[in-house]
A and B are shown apart, each in its own frame.
Chain A
Amino acid sequence: MQVTIRLFASFRVGRFVEETRDLPPDASVADVVRALEIPAEAIGMIMLDRRHAPLEQRLHDGARLALFPLLGGG
């Protein structure tokens, strides 16, 4: 299945801003995070199709996955 992955802030360093990857049908957010060599504890927010999602969430074909480190502002 095709999943579009978007990375933000420090996750972009040495990786990419946006990439579409071909993933096995049962892939989860955690699989993507592992493949990108991002430590799970560095994850602040996971947005799947513009909604907050947990690390163990299964992905689906055509999904848009956004990964953010812990960030703030205001």
Chain B
Amino acid sequence: MDKILRVNMTDLSVRTEDVPPDWAGLGGRGLTSTIVAAEVPPTCHPLGKNNKLVFAPGLLTGTMAASSGRLSAGAKSPLTGGIKESNSGGTAAKLFANLNVRALIIEGQPADDRWYSLHVDKDGVTIQEETELVGAGNFAVAEAVEARLGKKVGVLTIGPAGEWKMGSANISVKDPEGKVRSIGRGGLGAVMGSKRIKFIAVDDTGGPRVQVADPAKFKEAALRFSKTLLEHPVSGQGLPTYGTAVLVNILHEVGGLPTRNFTAGQFAEHEKISGETMHDTIVARDGKPKHPCHPGCVIQCSQVYNDKDGKYLTSGFEYETIWALGADCCISDLDDIATADHVMDDIGVDSIETGVMFGVAMEAGILPFGDGKGVIRMLREEIGKGTPLGRLLGGGAAAVGRVYGITRVPVVKGQGIPAYDPRAVKGIGITYATSPMGADHTSGYTIATNVLNVGGHVDPLKKDGQVELSRNLQIATAAIDSTGMCIFIAFPALDIPDCLAALVDMINARFGISLTLEDVTNLGKRILKTEHEFNLKAGFTNEDDRLPEFFAQEPLAPHNVVWDFTPAEIDAFWNF
């Protein structure tokens, strides 16, 4: 029987609860955002005892559905001050689903300064004091927990950045190879640190596994669904071959690759950090060009990147990270970026926030543009050791900009803007401005239609159609994020009608219900409105749905375009 696990860190108590009827049809982001909105006072301090950290697998996680193993985490964000949902691959989501745990809710805060770990298994949760791994990096934690409890056990962990409650701190999720994936954005690692939890182990031994209401129908729909993922050129060929970094050259060509702290739209050394170069480097060094981030993923956009001697350097080496440290910080040595990626994974900071922050720090003169070795040193010696400068840098781009008096600070709601300049790709600017998450490309990825010609084409340089495009994608994404599916299923979903039809058929066969595609769209609308409502109650207004002033003042080369949406045009986003 499905259940909710509730852990109270104030009195170190644990409860197993039935799933309330209102939550029964929810999973992933739908469930974490609903729980946060229902139970967290919107005006609470994100690092105080009234915030709650919620984990949930998706509606289809734990089934044979391809690419369905994403784990959602939610809380009030210490970076944005609004609601936050962030999700990740790794093995934990499937293990939660195998235990029939629909959500794990962590609330309260210990009165003393001890550290704890949680152990989730078929009997519920036990809380143990942790001393040995306090201060350890994420790779050491994943390894130590494997040694203690076995290789199959899932691990959610924070690095030193989370212990220090830095605004850029993430939560790492152990992946099938014993490395880590990240619940990256919004400082959720700091919330876990504020609960004094160093790691959570998830053991599905003896668990009941997921019961599918109509196995024959489910299998039929799951096969159709997988077929669409493998058939579409993006999910079937492009992503597994070149990874997400294939976007470096594309955005350069489009003139929307934010460069040198968002002062230009093209990076002269783009080829050195491109997906094509990464692919050739990986092959030459006996790495793995394709690799799943969670069990059962057929897209396999991840990769294992080795150093010059053929030794593991990093995995899950993403476009966003490569862009942020590459073009935005003008670092053209892919090995330096890979090393920095590994250090960020280990100390537990979001590689988007940290990369954007370094762009601002370079403009502030803390280190020169292009100084890859300097970035690695600051990650290890300042952020990783929690020096006073490191605590500031770990606070993210907005914190560094404020302290150093910088006016060109690319953030929305305090969160760093990702790898697409909103002046040259206008649809994504609407997503950055309006997403309840702060600047977040994944929450309404208009790049698909603005740039990549997936799901039609809306001219990236014109204002026409951008609000509608962003709205439709944000609604669809909120629904997809509830299933446990990777957002990259959106590529086939936008072009092949049977992809979404098969997805809805799987949900129906899993639960023995009869939803329509419209019901799923309505779920997406409800989630988005729930999140927006939380932010309004937390004190946000329409004026927070804006891009920084400099985007309207500084033309971006090569197109020499500015951000030119009026406030009323942006606010029309919420008319649904």
B457 pairs with A72, CB closer than 8 A: no
Contact A72 B254 (CB under 8 A): no
Question: Across the two chains, which residue of chain B brings its CB closest to A71?
Answer: B238
* B424 → A minimal CB distance (Å): 9
Q: What residues of A have a CB within 8 angstroms of the CB of B459 in the complex?
A: 52
Q: How large is the interface on B (under 10, 10 to 19, 20 to 34, 35 or more residues)?
A: 35 or more
**Contact assessment for B491 and A72 in the assembled complex, using a CB-CB cutoff below 8 Å:** yes
Q: Does A27 contact B (CB under 8 A)?
A: no
Give Cα distance in the complex from A74 to B244, angstroms.
6
* Closest-CB distance, B495 to chain A (whole angstroms): 9
Number of interface residues of A (CB under 8 A): 21
Whether, in the assembled complex, A60 has its beta carbon less than 8 Å from a beta carbon of chain B, the answer is: no
Q: Is A73 an interface residue (CB 8 A)?
A: yes
Residues of chain B within 8 A (CB-CB) of A68 are 250, 253
Residue B348 lies at the interface, judged by CB distance under 8 Å to chain A: no
How far, in whole Å, are A12 and B242 apart by their CA atoms in the complex?
12
User: For chain A, what secondary structure do more than half of its interface residues adopt (helix, strand, loop), or is it mixed?
Assistant: mixed
Q: Bound complex: CA of A42 vs CA of B233, how far in Å?
A: 9
Are B234 and A74 touching (Cβ within 8 A)? no
Contact, CB under 8 Å: B487 / A9:
no
Which one of A9, A47, A74 lies within 8 Å of B242 (CB-CB)? A9
> Closest residue to A72 on the B side, CB-wise?
B234
A50 within 8 A of B: yes
Q: Is the CB of B247 within 8 A of A73?
A: yes
Q: Which of B441, B448, B453, B491 has the most CB of A within 10 A?
A: B453
Q: For the complex, what is the distance from the CA of A51 to the CA of B561, rounded to whole Å?
A: 13
Q: Does A1 contact B (CB under 8 A)?
A: no
Q: Are A50 and B255 in contact (CB under 8 A)?
A: yes
**In the complex, are the beta carbons of A70 and B238 less than 8 A apart?**
yes
Taking a contact as CB atoms under 8 Å apart, the answer to whether B250 and A74 are in contact is: no
Q: Which one, A51, A66, A70, A73, contacts B245 given CB within 8 A?
A: A73
Whether A71 pairs with B234 at a CB distance below 8 angstroms is yes
* Closest A residue by C-beta to B301: A73
Q: How far is the CB of B562 from chain A (nearest CB, A)?
A: 17
* B454 lies within 8 A of chain A by Cβ: yes
Residues of B within 8 A of A74 (CB): 244, 247, 319, 441-442, 445, 447, 487-488
A2 to B558, CA, bound (A): 21
Given the known A-B contacts A9-B275, A45-B250, are A73 and B233 also in contact in the complex, defined by CB atoms under 8 Å? Answer: no
A73 to B418, CA, bound (A): 13
With beta carbons under 8 angstroms apart, the residue of B242, B246, B254 that contacts A50 is B254
Complex Cα–Cα for A12 and B277 (A)? 12
A17 to B241: give the CA distance in the assembly, Å. Answer: 17
Residue B239, interface by CB 8 Å = yes
- Measured between beta carbons, the chain A residues less than 8 angstroms from B319 are 73-74
B447 touches A70 (CB 8 A): no
The residues of B that contact A69 with a CB separation of less than 8 Å are 233, 237-238
In the complex, what residues of A have CB within 8 A of residue B347's CB? none
A25 interface residue, CB < 8 Å from B? no
How far does the alpha carbon of A27 sit from the alpha carbon of B50 in the complex, in Å?
67
| Cβ B246 vs Cβ A9 within 8 A | yes
A34 to B446, CA, bound (A): 30
Q: Which A16-53 residues sit within 8 Å CB-CB of chain B? A: 17, 42, 44-45, 47, 50-52
Those of B128-178 within 8 Å (CB) of chain A: none
B334 at interface by CB-CB < 8 Å: no
| Contacting residues, chain A, for B242 (C-beta < 8 A) | 9, 71
Instruction: Collect the chain B residues with CB atoms within 8 Å of residue A45's CB.
Output: 250, 451-453
Contact with A along B221-258 (1 / 0, CB 8 A): 00000000000011101110111111101100111000
Find B239's partner among A17, A50, A72 (CB 8 Å cutoff). A72
Q: Known: A9-B241, A12-B276. Is A73-B246 also a contact (CB below 8 A)? A: yes
Contact bitstring A1-13, B, C-beta under 8 A = 1, else 0: 0000010111010
| Cα A62 to Cα B229 with chains together (Å) | 39
Nearest chain A residue, comparing its CB with the CB of B319: A73
Q: Give CA–CA (A17, B452) in the complex, Å.
A: 20
What's the Cα separation between A70 and B488 when bound, in Å? 14
In whole angstroms, what is the CA distance A47 to B239 when docked? Answer: 21
Q: B451 — which chain A residues lie within 8 A by C-beta? A: 45
Quick check: is B469 within 8 A (CB to CB) of the other chain? no
CB of B26 within 8 Å of the partner chain:
no
List B residues at the A interface (Cβ < 8 Å). Answer: 233-235, 237-239, 241-247, 249-250, 253-255, 271, 275-276, 301, 319, 441-442, 445, 447-448, 451-454, 457, 459-461, 487-488, 491, 558-559
- List 29 A-B pairs, Cβ < 8 Å: A10-B237, A10-B238, A10-B241, A17-B271, A44-B453, A45-B452, A45-B453, A50-B253, A50-B255, A50-B559, A51-B461, A52-B453, A52-B457, A52-B460, A66-B253, A70-B233, A70-B234, A71-B238, A72-B235, A72-B488, A73-B238, A73-B239, A73-B243, A73-B244, A73-B246, A74-B247, A74-B319, A74-B487, A74-B488
The 6 closest A-B pairs by CB, nearest first: A73-B244, A72-B234, A70-B233, A71-B238, A73-B247, A72-B491
Q: Assuming A9-B241, A70-B233, A70-B454, what are 9 further A-B pairs, CB within 8 angstroms? A: A44-B233, A45-B250, A52-B457, A70-B238, A70-B453, A72-B234, A72-B239, A72-B454, A74-B441
